[in-house]
């Protein structure tokens, strides 16, 4: 039996990755391996990465004993040295879990969803990469509505991701999300059919 292809799914913050992956999983039965969910799991209380982070950044510990991710975003993301240290602790742990989940995923194919698919080197785990694309102003408006973050913080996060044009140039497939949710779902179904036909 041949191994199912690994499909990567990425896009800038607020581009609609979650809407696409939810539709693939809930409507089309595709296995989703979500790097963001795994990233939260590896920094859960008691995990080695959690202990290292709290030791380095005591202010990142919330009263309930969990990590204050908003604090980390605000204080660590803008500081390159701190961010590189954080990534050196979390990225290997995240990659290990991702690889395990991809290897055990059933057909038709697993989708690795990651906002930093290209930037983190996770694209190398994929046979095919799709980018969910939206205009920058749409990304900012959607993220602001979803998270309540101000535009400055959203732009800081965007600056740590590849520019839109570079993502598009490296995509094997582009899922357009510049219109409605309904048209995004139609585009996602077309993408799914394309993968089934291709592989």
- 58-81 pLDDT per residue, tens: 999 999 999 998 899 889 988 999
Q: Is 16 annotated as a binding residue?
A: yes
Say whether pLDDT at 1 is over 60.
no
Instruction: Label residue 147 by pLDDT band (50, 70, 90).
Output: confident
* Higher per-residue pLDDT: 1 or 45: 45
pLDDT tens digits, 127-140: 999 999 999 999 99
Rounded CA-CA distance 62/17 in Å is 28
65 is in an annotated binding site: no
Asked which of 69-78, 83-92, 129-138, 175-184 is least confident by mean pLDDT, the reply is 69-78
Is 2 one of the annotated binding-site residues? no
Q: Report whether pLDDT(85) > 60.
A: yes
Quote the pLDDT of residue 175: 98
17 among the known binding-site residues?
yes
Per-residue confidence at 157, pLDDT binned at 50, 70, 90? Answer: confident
What CATH architecture does domain 7-198 belong to? 3-Layer(aba) Sandwich (3.40)
Query: Is 35 among the annotated ligand-binding positions?
Result: no
Please check if 31 is assigned to a binding site.
Answer: no
- pLDDT averaged over every residue in the chain: 94
Q: What number of CA atoms fall less than 13 Å from residue 49's CA on the CB side? A: 19
Report the pLDDT value the prediction gives residue 58, as an integer from 0 to 100. 96
Confidence band, pLDDT 50/70/90 cuts, at residue 110: very high
pTM, entire model = 0.86
Distances (CA, A) of 60 to 5, 56, 66, 94, 187: 38, 9, 9, 19, 40
User: Does the pLDDT at position 56 exceed 80?
Assistant: yes
Domain ranges of the chain: 7-198
pLDDT of residue 2 exceeding 80? no
Residue 67: name the closest of 43, 49, 37 by CA: 43
CB atoms closer than 10 angstroms to residue 31 = 18
Give the whole-angstrom CA distance, residue 74 versus residue 111.
29
User: Can you give the pLDDT at residue 50?
Assistant: 96
d(CA 90, CA 107): 29
Starting from the edge strand earliest in sequence, which strands make up the sheet with 110-113, in order? 31-34, 110-113, 7-10, 128-133, 173-176
Please state, in angstroms and as integers, the Cα–Cα distance from residue 174 to each residue in 134, 164, 165, following that order. Answer: 10, 12, 12
Query: What is the structure's pLDDT at 150?
Result: 85
Alpha-carbon distance 158 to 73, whole Å?
A: 12
């Amino acid at each position: 039996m041949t191994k199912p292809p690994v499909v990567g799914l990425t896009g800038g913050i607020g581009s609609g990755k979650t809407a696409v992956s939810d539709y693939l999983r809930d409507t089309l039965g595709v296995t989703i391996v979500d790097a963001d969910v795994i990233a939260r799991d590896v920094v859960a209380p008691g995990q080695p990465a959690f202990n290292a982070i709290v030791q380095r950044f005591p202010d990142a510990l919330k009263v309930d004993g969990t990590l204050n991710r908003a604090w980390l975003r605000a204080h660590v993301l803008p500081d390159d040295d701190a961010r590189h240290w954080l990534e050196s602790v979390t990225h290997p742990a995240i990659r290990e879990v991702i690889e395990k989940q991809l290897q055990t995923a059933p057909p038709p194919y697993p989708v690795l969803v990651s906002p930093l698919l290209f930037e983190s080197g996770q694209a190398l785990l994929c046979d095919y990469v799709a980018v969910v694309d939206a205009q920058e102003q749409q990304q900012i408006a959607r993220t602001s509505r979803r998270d309540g973050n101000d535009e400055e913080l959203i732009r800081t996060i965007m600056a740590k991701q590849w520019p839109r044009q570079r993502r598009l140039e490296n995509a094997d497939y582009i899922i357009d999300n510049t219109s409605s949710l309904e048209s995004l779902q139609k585009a996602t179904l077309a993408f799914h059919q394309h993968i089934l036909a291709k592989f």
